[in-house]
Amino acid sequence: APGAGHSLPSSTRQEQFAAAWPAVKKRLVPFFSSESLQSLDDIVEWIVVSERIKMIQNCVEEKRYTLVHGDFHMGNMLLPTEIEGDVDRRPWLVDWSFSGIGNPSVDLVFFMAMNDITAQDTERILRLYYSVVKERSQLSWNDFLTMFRQCLLNQFIILVCYDSLCRTMADSSSDERMVEVQHAHFDRVNTRCAQMILLYNYNNGNILPIA
């Protein structure tokens, strides 16, 4: 399946996710209330039940509707810096090494997790993205939200599973400042993904349906 980290088999995710969560949660403590952290614990417990990790992965991968970049963030965009006459003002998207045909919400979730986006802007981006999807499909808003929730959970699982590896790779640098920057980046990405899950996948102590 296209997307950074999406090739991780469900069996490996099942083995690693619950074990990796405590360390990830510890780094999230400064960014969440105790109530929100408990809600995240509830979501994690729900995810690891039975074959649910595999089900979530299958829900995402079976919706192969469009071209997916797979590593969609601002660092892979070339933005024009000057305005001169007929200069093409469109941004250029580079590094297609994780691309393929896949779920249209994969890039959306990855972009919102990887970039500094407020809760208000998240809703606006969702609406704008759906308006484009709707022009090219018969997908309802509710079905689109369900796809978005599925991809959110899938991305959360991937981030938790890869967190230790990413930090170990960052620690191998001799530049202490760069190591600090990388760890702060991982914290921001995990925080934003967890915030979106609490906003879109959780309501009054209940996990919203994803199928």
* Contact present, 200 and 112 (Cβ < 8 Å): no
3-state helix, strand, coil in the chain (%, to 5): 65, 5, 30
In this model, does residue 1 exceed pLDDT 80? no
The least confident of 81-85, 140-144, 192-196 is 81-85
Residue percentage of the chain with pLDDT more than 90: 72
Q: Which of 138, 62, 68, 144 is nearest to 100 (CA)?
A: 68
* Contact present, 77 and 111 (Cβ < 8 Å): no
* Contact present, 59 and 1 (Cβ < 8 Å): no
Residue 82 is predicted with a pLDDT of 66
Distance CA 147, CA 130 (A): 11
Interval 114-140 mean pLDDT: 89
- Give the SS3 label for residue 36: helix
Average pLDDT for the chain: 91
Residue 87 is predicted with a pLDDT of 64
pLDDT category of residue 81 using cuts at 50, 70 and 90: confident
Q: Which two tokens stand for residue 171?
A: 């620690």
**For 64, how many CA atoms within 13 A lie in the half-sphere containing its CB?**
8
Give residue-wise pLDDT tens across range 172-191: 999 999 999 999 999 999 99
Contacts of 187 (CB under 8 A, 6+ apart): 27, 28, 31
Residue 85 is predicted with a pLDDT of 59
Tell the residue number behind the tokens 């959970």, with chain if given.
Answer: 153
pLDDT category of residue 88 using cuts at 50, 70 and 90: low
Residue 86 is predicted with a pLDDT of 58
Per the model's pLDDT, the better-predicted residue between 93 and 85 turns out to be 93
Distance CA 13, CA 130 (A): 29
- CA distances (Å), 78 to each of 95, 115, 125, 183, 189, in order? 11, 15, 20, 25, 21
Interval 11-19 mean pLDDT: 94
